[in-house]
Chains A and B, each alone.
Chain A
Protein backbone atom coordinates (compact mmCIF):
# COMPACT_ATOMS: atom_id res chain seq x y z
CA UNK A 1 0.00 0.00 0.00
CA UNK A 2 0.96 3.66 -0.08
CA UNK A 3 2.32 3.93 3.35
CA UNK A 4 5.86 4.72 4.15
CA UNK A 5 7.67 1.84 5.53
CA UNK A 6 9.35 2.73 8.73
CA UNK A 7 11.50 0.13 10.18
CA UNK A 8 10.90 -3.49 9.60
CA UNK A 9 7.90 -5.08 8.07
CA UNK A 10 6.47 -6.10 11.37
CA UNK A 11 6.17 -3.38 13.96
CA UNK A 12 5.52 -5.73 16.80
CA UNK A 13 8.59 -7.68 16.43
CA UNK A 14 11.88 -6.08 16.90
CA UNK A 15 14.81 -7.37 15.14
CA UNK A 16 17.89 -8.31 16.99
CA UNK A 17 19.70 -5.05 16.07
CA UNK A 18 16.90 -2.63 17.11
CA UNK A 19 17.35 -1.13 20.52
CA UNK A 20 14.47 -0.31 22.74
CA UNK A 21 14.05 3.50 23.06
CA UNK A 22 15.01 4.67 26.52
CA UNK A 23 12.19 6.28 28.42
CA UNK A 24 13.37 9.85 29.16
CA UNK A 25 12.30 11.52 32.35
CA UNK A 26 10.08 14.55 31.84
CA UNK A 27 11.58 16.22 34.91
CA UNK A 28 13.66 19.30 34.24
CA UNK A 29 16.26 20.54 36.63
CA UNK A 30 14.85 23.85 37.84
CA UNK A 31 17.85 25.01 39.85
CA UNK A 32 19.37 27.33 37.21
CA UNK A 33 16.00 28.92 36.64
CA UNK A 34 15.52 29.57 40.34
CA UNK A 35 19.03 30.96 40.53
CA UNK A 36 18.32 33.35 37.73
CA UNK A 37 14.97 34.32 39.23
CA UNK A 38 16.50 35.26 42.53
CA UNK A 39 19.32 37.07 40.86
CA UNK A 40 16.80 39.27 39.11
CA UNK A 41 14.87 39.82 42.34
CA UNK A 42 18.00 41.01 44.08
CA UNK A 43 18.76 43.29 41.19
CA UNK A 44 15.34 44.89 41.27
CA UNK A 45 15.36 45.25 45.02
CA UNK A 46 18.63 47.12 44.84
CA UNK A 47 17.68 49.39 42.01
CA UNK A 48 14.17 50.06 43.23
CA UNK A 49 13.33 53.61 44.24
CA UNK A 50 10.50 53.03 46.61
CA UNK A 51 10.97 56.32 48.35
CA UNK A 52 9.71 59.12 46.21
CA UNK A 53 11.32 62.43 46.99
CA UNK A 54 9.35 64.78 49.18
CA UNK A 55 9.51 68.49 49.57
CA UNK A 56 9.71 70.81 52.47
CA UNK A 57 7.94 74.13 52.28
CA UNK A 58 9.95 77.14 53.19
CA UNK A 59 8.55 80.63 53.41
CA UNK A 60 10.89 83.49 53.78
CA UNK A 61 9.94 86.97 54.87
CA UNK A 62 10.34 89.91 52.59
CA UNK A 63 13.55 91.80 52.84
CA UNK A 64 12.82 94.47 55.35
CA UNK A 65 14.32 97.66 56.54
CA UNK A 66 15.76 97.96 59.98
CA UNK A 67 12.61 99.57 61.30
CA UNK A 68 10.40 96.70 60.20
CA UNK A 69 12.38 94.06 62.00
CA UNK A 70 10.29 91.94 64.26
CA UNK A 71 11.12 92.41 67.86
CA UNK A 72 11.09 89.29 69.96
CA UNK A 73 10.92 88.82 73.68
CA UNK A 74 14.28 88.11 75.17
CA UNK A 75 12.90 85.56 77.62
CA UNK A 76 11.43 83.44 74.88
CA UNK A 77 14.30 83.52 72.45
CA UNK A 78 16.59 80.64 71.70
CA UNK A 79 19.41 81.24 69.26
CA UNK A 80 20.92 78.23 67.57
CA UNK A 81 24.12 78.53 65.58
CA UNK A 82 25.47 75.91 63.24
CA UNK A 83 29.20 75.50 62.90
CA UNK A 84 31.44 73.18 60.98
CA UNK A 85 31.56 69.39 61.44
CA UNK A 86 27.94 69.27 62.63
CA UNK A 87 28.64 71.33 65.74
CA UNK A 88 25.74 73.23 67.23
CA UNK A 89 25.97 76.21 69.51
CA UNK A 90 23.17 77.95 71.30
CA UNK A 91 22.28 80.56 73.82
CA UNK A 92 19.08 81.60 75.49
CA UNK A 93 17.87 85.16 75.41
CA UNK A 94 20.55 87.69 74.65
CA UNK A 95 24.22 86.95 74.31
CA UNK A 96 26.00 88.59 77.22
CA UNK A 97 29.17 90.55 76.80
CA UNK A 98 31.57 87.84 77.88
CA UNK A 99 29.70 85.15 76.00
CA UNK A 100 29.17 83.16 79.19
CA UNK A 101 25.77 81.84 78.13
CA UNK A 102 27.17 80.63 74.84
CA UNK A 103 27.03 76.84 74.93
CA UNK A 104 28.12 74.08 72.64
CA UNK A 105 26.06 71.00 71.86
CA UNK A 106 25.30 68.60 69.01
CA UNK A 107 22.39 67.50 66.87
CA UNK A 108 21.35 64.72 69.23
CA UNK A 109 20.94 66.99 72.20
CA UNK A 110 19.52 70.05 70.49
CA UNK A 111 16.05 68.49 70.43
CA UNK A 112 15.99 68.20 74.20
CA UNK A 113 17.18 71.79 74.51
CA UNK A 114 14.42 73.04 72.21
CA UNK A 115 11.79 71.02 74.05
CA UNK A 116 12.97 72.18 77.46
CA UNK A 117 13.00 75.79 76.37
CA UNK A 118 9.52 75.47 74.94
CA UNK A 119 8.19 73.98 78.18
CA UNK A 120 9.92 76.70 80.10
CA UNK A 121 8.33 79.43 78.01
CA UNK A 122 4.89 77.89 78.39
CA UNK A 123 5.37 77.55 82.15
CA UNK A 124 6.47 81.14 82.55
CA UNK A 125 3.66 82.48 80.47
CA UNK A 126 1.76 84.94 82.58
CA UNK A 127 -1.88 84.48 82.03
CA UNK A 128 -4.08 87.49 81.93
CA UNK A 129 -7.70 86.87 81.06
CA UNK A 130 -8.37 90.41 79.98
CA UNK A 131 -5.34 90.55 77.81
CA UNK A 132 -6.09 87.19 76.33
CA UNK A 133 -9.64 88.12 75.51
CA UNK A 134 -8.61 91.23 73.65
CA UNK A 135 -6.05 89.29 71.73
CA UNK A 136 -8.42 86.54 70.76
CA UNK A 137 -11.16 88.95 69.84
CA UNK A 138 -8.79 90.74 67.58
CA UNK A 139 -8.09 87.52 65.82
CA UNK A 140 -11.72 86.47 65.76
CA UNK A 141 -10.85 83.11 67.05
CA UNK A 142 -13.17 82.50 70.00
CA UNK A 143 -15.83 80.63 68.06
CA UNK A 144 -13.41 78.28 66.38
CA UNK A 145 -11.21 77.43 69.28
CA UNK A 146 -13.03 76.23 72.40
CA UNK A 147 -9.75 75.99 74.22
CA UNK A 148 -8.84 79.57 73.44
CA UNK A 149 -7.70 80.46 76.91
CA UNK A 150 -4.93 77.96 76.73
CA UNK A 151 -4.16 78.21 73.07
CA UNK A 152 -0.98 79.74 71.83
CA UNK A 153 0.80 79.75 75.15
CA UNK A 154 4.08 79.27 73.36
CA UNK A 155 3.70 82.38 71.26
CA UNK A 156 6.65 84.03 72.93
CA UNK A 157 8.90 81.17 71.98
CA UNK A 158 11.05 82.09 69.01
CA UNK A 159 13.97 80.15 67.66
CA UNK A 160 16.59 82.09 65.75
CA UNK A 161 18.69 79.97 63.43
CA UNK A 162 22.10 81.24 62.42
CA UNK A 163 24.16 78.97 60.23
CA UNK A 164 27.76 80.10 59.75
CA UNK A 165 29.83 79.80 56.60
CA UNK A 166 31.05 76.33 57.45
CA UNK A 167 27.62 74.85 58.11
CA UNK A 168 26.40 72.37 55.52
CA UNK A 169 23.08 72.36 53.74
CA UNK A 170 22.22 69.14 55.55
CA UNK A 171 22.63 70.85 58.91
CA UNK A 172 20.37 73.66 57.79
CA UNK A 173 17.65 71.31 56.62
CA UNK A 174 18.03 69.22 59.76
CA UNK A 175 17.53 72.19 62.04
CA UNK A 176 14.54 73.41 60.01
CA UNK A 177 13.18 69.90 60.30
CA UNK A 178 13.70 70.05 64.04
CA UNK A 179 11.33 73.04 64.06
CA UNK A 180 8.64 70.91 62.44
CA UNK A 181 9.35 67.98 64.73
CA UNK A 182 9.02 70.05 67.87
CA UNK A 183 6.12 72.13 66.56
CA UNK A 184 7.96 75.41 66.90
CA UNK A 185 5.62 77.91 65.33
CA UNK A 186 7.94 80.85 65.16
CA UNK A 187 11.45 80.64 63.89
CA UNK A 188 13.68 82.74 61.72
CA UNK A 189 16.83 82.28 59.74
CA UNK A 190 19.20 85.14 60.32
CA UNK A 191 22.70 85.96 59.19
CA UNK A 192 25.26 85.28 61.86
CA UNK A 193 26.77 88.29 63.62
CA UNK A 194 30.48 88.89 63.90
CA UNK A 195 30.58 88.43 67.65
CA UNK A 196 28.92 85.07 67.36
CA UNK A 197 31.16 84.04 64.51
CA UNK A 198 34.21 84.96 66.57
CA UNK A 199 32.89 82.95 69.52
CA UNK A 200 32.40 79.89 67.32
CA UNK A 201 35.88 80.28 65.88
CA UNK A 202 37.31 80.53 69.37
CA UNK A 203 35.47 77.44 70.57
CA UNK A 204 36.48 75.46 67.53
CA UNK A 205 40.06 76.63 67.72
CA UNK A 206 40.30 75.72 71.38
CA UNK A 207 39.51 72.08 70.76
Chain B
Protein backbone atom coordinates (compact mmCIF):
# COMPACT_ATOMS: atom_id res chain seq x y z
CA UNK B 1 0.00 0.00 0.00
CA UNK B 2 1.25 3.40 -0.74
CA UNK B 3 1.83 5.44 2.32
CA UNK B 4 0.38 8.93 2.44
CA UNK B 5 2.85 11.09 4.13
CA UNK B 6 1.28 13.51 6.58
CA UNK B 7 3.33 16.62 6.83
CA UNK B 8 4.56 17.01 10.36
CA UNK B 9 3.35 20.37 11.54
CA UNK B 10 5.15 22.25 14.22
CA UNK B 11 3.23 22.74 17.47
CA UNK B 12 4.93 26.06 17.98
CA UNK B 13 2.56 29.02 17.79
CA UNK B 14 3.65 32.49 17.07
CA UNK B 15 3.22 34.29 20.37
CA UNK B 16 4.03 37.74 19.11
CA UNK B 17 0.46 39.11 18.66
CA UNK B 18 -0.47 37.71 22.02
CA UNK B 19 2.42 39.46 23.67
CA UNK B 20 1.55 42.65 21.81
CA UNK B 21 -1.97 42.65 23.16
CA UNK B 22 -0.81 41.80 26.65
CA UNK B 23 1.56 44.71 26.75
CA UNK B 24 -1.00 47.04 25.23
CA UNK B 25 -3.39 46.22 28.07
CA UNK B 26 -0.56 46.58 30.53
CA UNK B 27 0.36 50.04 29.30
CA UNK B 28 -3.30 51.04 29.39
CA UNK B 29 -3.57 50.08 33.02
CA UNK B 30 -0.35 51.81 33.93
CA UNK B 31 -1.60 55.01 32.30
CA UNK B 32 -5.15 54.85 33.62
CA UNK B 33 -4.28 53.95 37.16
CA UNK B 34 -4.00 56.45 39.89
CA UNK B 35 -2.44 54.99 42.91
CA UNK B 36 -4.39 55.27 46.04
CA UNK B 37 -2.64 57.89 48.11
CA UNK B 38 -1.59 56.36 51.40
CA UNK B 39 -4.47 56.99 53.72
CA UNK B 40 -3.56 57.97 57.24
CA UNK B 41 -6.85 56.54 58.42
CA UNK B 42 -8.39 53.64 56.54
CA UNK B 43 -12.05 54.33 55.89
CA UNK B 44 -14.60 52.35 53.94
CA UNK B 45 -17.15 54.78 52.60
CA UNK B 46 -20.76 53.86 51.93
CA UNK B 47 -22.24 53.85 48.43
CA UNK B 48 -24.66 56.38 47.07
CA UNK B 49 -26.30 57.13 43.75
CA UNK B 50 -24.83 60.61 43.73
CA UNK B 51 -22.59 61.30 40.77
CA UNK B 52 -20.92 64.55 41.80
CA UNK B 53 -17.18 64.20 41.68
CA UNK B 54 -15.36 65.01 44.88
CA UNK B 55 -13.38 68.22 44.93
CA UNK B 56 -10.67 68.19 47.50
CA UNK B 57 -9.20 71.64 47.15
CA UNK B 58 -9.98 74.23 49.79
CA UNK B 59 -11.72 71.71 51.90
CA UNK B 60 -11.88 70.68 55.48
CA UNK B 61 -12.10 66.93 55.65
CA UNK B 62 -13.66 65.40 58.73
CA UNK B 63 -12.98 61.70 58.86
CA UNK B 64 -14.71 59.19 61.10
CA UNK B 65 -13.10 55.78 61.28
CA UNK B 66 -14.73 52.51 62.21
CA UNK B 67 -14.12 53.03 65.93
CA UNK B 68 -15.93 56.38 65.86
CA UNK B 69 -12.69 58.36 66.16
CA UNK B 70 -12.82 61.75 64.53
CA UNK B 71 -9.91 63.18 62.54
CA UNK B 72 -9.55 66.36 60.57
CA UNK B 73 -7.30 67.59 57.87
CA UNK B 74 -7.31 70.73 55.84
CA UNK B 75 -6.62 70.69 52.12
CA UNK B 76 -5.45 73.92 50.63
CA UNK B 77 -5.28 74.71 46.96
CA UNK B 78 -2.62 72.62 45.29
CA UNK B 79 0.79 74.26 45.30
CA UNK B 80 -0.46 77.34 47.04
CA UNK B 81 1.21 77.97 50.34
CA UNK B 82 -1.06 80.68 51.51
CA UNK B 83 -0.35 80.32 55.18
CA UNK B 84 -3.89 79.17 55.93
CA UNK B 85 -2.70 76.29 58.03
CA UNK B 86 -0.53 78.61 60.05
CA UNK B 87 -3.41 80.91 60.85
CA UNK B 88 -5.57 77.94 61.82
CA UNK B 89 -3.06 76.60 64.32
CA UNK B 90 -2.15 80.02 65.66
CA UNK B 91 -5.81 80.73 66.22
CA UNK B 92 -6.33 77.40 67.97
CA UNK B 93 -3.26 77.98 70.07
CA UNK B 94 -4.53 81.37 71.17
CA UNK B 95 -8.16 80.49 71.76
CA UNK B 96 -7.35 77.34 73.69
CA UNK B 97 -4.20 78.62 75.48
CA UNK B 98 -1.98 75.86 74.14
CA UNK B 99 1.25 77.90 73.91
CA UNK B 100 2.43 76.32 70.70
CA UNK B 101 5.87 77.41 69.54
CA UNK B 102 7.16 77.84 65.99
CA UNK B 103 8.39 74.26 65.98
CA UNK B 104 4.92 72.92 66.66
CA UNK B 105 3.39 75.21 64.07
CA UNK B 106 5.72 73.84 61.40
CA UNK B 107 4.97 70.35 62.60
CA UNK B 108 1.25 71.02 62.23
CA UNK B 109 1.73 72.13 58.65
CA UNK B 110 3.42 68.84 57.81
CA UNK B 111 1.15 66.63 59.85
CA UNK B 112 -0.92 64.34 57.64
CA UNK B 113 -3.99 64.34 59.84
CA UNK B 114 -4.98 65.55 63.28
CA UNK B 115 -6.85 63.30 65.67
CA UNK B 116 -5.89 64.26 69.20
CA UNK B 117 -7.65 66.27 71.89
CA UNK B 118 -6.37 69.77 72.63
CA UNK B 119 -4.64 68.76 75.85
CA UNK B 120 -2.35 66.33 74.03
CA UNK B 121 -1.96 68.36 70.84
CA UNK B 122 1.31 69.94 71.91
CA UNK B 123 2.83 66.60 72.83
CA UNK B 124 1.67 65.09 69.55
CA UNK B 125 3.13 67.90 67.46
CA UNK B 126 6.45 67.61 69.30
CA UNK B 127 6.90 64.07 68.03
CA UNK B 128 9.01 63.60 64.92
CA UNK B 129 6.97 63.02 61.75
CA UNK B 130 7.77 59.30 61.61
CA UNK B 131 6.55 58.79 65.15
CA UNK B 132 3.40 60.80 64.41
CA UNK B 133 2.49 58.25 61.78
CA UNK B 134 2.90 55.39 64.24
CA UNK B 135 1.07 57.23 67.00
CA UNK B 136 -2.31 55.69 67.76
CA UNK B 137 -4.49 58.78 67.84
CA UNK B 138 -7.47 58.76 70.20
CA UNK B 139 -9.53 61.00 67.91
CA UNK B 140 -10.93 64.46 68.51
CA UNK B 141 -13.51 64.32 71.30
CA UNK B 142 -16.93 65.22 69.93
CA UNK B 143 -19.52 63.20 71.80
CA UNK B 144 -19.54 65.40 74.87
CA UNK B 145 -21.99 68.14 73.94
CA UNK B 146 -20.44 70.66 76.30
CA UNK B 147 -16.89 70.05 75.17
CA UNK B 148 -17.17 69.31 71.47
CA UNK B 149 -13.64 70.25 70.37
CA UNK B 150 -14.56 70.04 66.71
CA UNK B 151 -16.54 73.25 67.17
CA UNK B 152 -13.27 75.09 67.90
CA UNK B 153 -11.48 73.54 64.99
CA UNK B 154 -14.24 74.45 62.56
CA UNK B 155 -14.37 77.97 63.93
CA UNK B 156 -10.63 78.45 63.36
CA UNK B 157 -10.69 76.94 59.88
CA UNK B 158 -13.67 79.06 58.98
CA UNK B 159 -11.84 82.16 60.17
CA UNK B 160 -8.71 81.30 58.19
CA UNK B 161 -10.67 80.74 54.99
CA UNK B 162 -12.88 83.79 55.46
CA UNK B 163 -14.06 85.19 52.17
CA UNK B 164 -13.14 82.09 50.27
CA UNK B 165 -15.14 79.08 49.28
CA UNK B 166 -14.59 76.34 51.80
CA UNK B 167 -16.04 72.87 51.47
CA UNK B 168 -16.83 70.72 54.44
CA UNK B 169 -16.36 67.08 53.60
CA UNK B 170 -17.55 64.40 55.96
CA UNK B 171 -16.04 61.01 55.31
CA UNK B 172 -17.43 58.33 57.54
CA UNK B 173 -16.79 54.64 57.74
CA UNK B 174 -19.62 52.22 57.11
CA UNK B 175 -19.38 50.89 60.64
CA UNK B 176 -19.23 54.18 62.50
CA UNK B 177 -22.25 54.96 64.61
CA UNK B 178 -24.79 57.68 64.09
CA UNK B 179 -24.19 59.72 67.30
CA UNK B 180 -20.70 60.67 66.09
CA UNK B 181 -22.12 61.85 62.80
CA UNK B 182 -24.78 63.79 64.65
CA UNK B 183 -22.08 65.41 66.82
CA UNK B 184 -20.25 66.52 63.67
CA UNK B 185 -23.45 68.00 62.27
CA UNK B 186 -24.02 69.81 65.54
CA UNK B 187 -20.46 71.17 65.53
CA UNK B 188 -21.00 72.52 62.03
CA UNK B 189 -24.37 73.89 63.01
CA UNK B 190 -22.90 75.75 65.94
CA UNK B 191 -20.61 77.47 63.46
CA UNK B 192 -23.57 78.35 61.27
CA UNK B 193 -22.54 75.98 58.54
CA UNK B 194 -25.47 74.11 57.07
CA UNK B 195 -24.15 72.81 53.79
CA UNK B 196 -21.66 70.03 53.54
CA UNK B 197 -20.78 67.04 51.47
CA UNK B 198 -20.62 63.40 52.39
CA UNK B 199 -17.91 61.39 50.69
CA UNK B 200 -19.31 58.24 49.13
CA UNK B 201 -18.56 55.71 46.45
CA UNK B 202 -20.70 55.71 43.39
CA UNK B 203 -23.32 53.17 42.49
CA UNK B 204 -26.02 53.13 39.83
CA UNK B 205 -29.64 54.02 40.39
CA UNK B 206 -31.71 50.88 40.99
CA UNK B 207 -33.97 49.95 38.10
CA UNK B 208 -37.59 51.01 38.13
CA UNK B 209 -37.24 53.77 40.69
CA UNK B 210 -38.11 57.41 40.15
CA UNK B 211 -34.46 58.43 39.92
CA UNK B 212 -33.78 55.70 37.35
CA UNK B 213 -36.65 56.96 35.21
CA UNK B 214 -35.47 60.53 35.53
CA UNK B 215 -31.94 59.71 34.48
CA UNK B 216 -33.16 57.68 31.53
CA UNK B 217 -35.59 60.42 30.56
CA UNK B 218 -38.67 58.22 30.99
CA UNK B 219 -41.80 60.04 32.06
> Interface on A for B, CB 8 Å cutoff?
27, 30-31, 33-34, 37-38, 40-41, 44-45, 47-63, 82, 111, 115, 163-174, 176-177, 180-183, 191
Contacts and interface: CB of A to CB of B under 8 A. Distances in A.
B209 A44 contact: no
Contacts of B202: 51, 53-54
Nearest to A184: B210
8 contacts: A38-B22, A48-B32, A51-B201, A53-B199, A55-B55, A60-B185, A60-B189, A182-B209
A183 B211 contact: yes
A40 B29 CA distance: 9
B50 A30 contact: no
B34 A49 contact: yes
**Residue of B48, B185, B189 with most chain A CB atoms under a 10 A cut-off:** B48
B194 A60 contact: yes
Contact of B205 (A34, A45, A115, A181): A181
B187 to A, nearest CB: 12
A111 B209 contact: yes
A180 B174 CA distance: 19
Contacts of B47: 177
Which secondary structure characterizes the binding site on chain A?
A: mixed
Interface string B52-70: 1111000000001000000
B16 interface: yes
B206 A53 contact: no
Contacts of A165: 177-179
Contacts of B12: 27
Interface string B99-139: 00000000000000000000000000000000000000000
A164 B182 CA distance: 10
A169 B174 contact: yes
Contact of B22 (A34, A48, A115): A34
A171 B178 contact: yes
B68 to A, nearest CB: 9
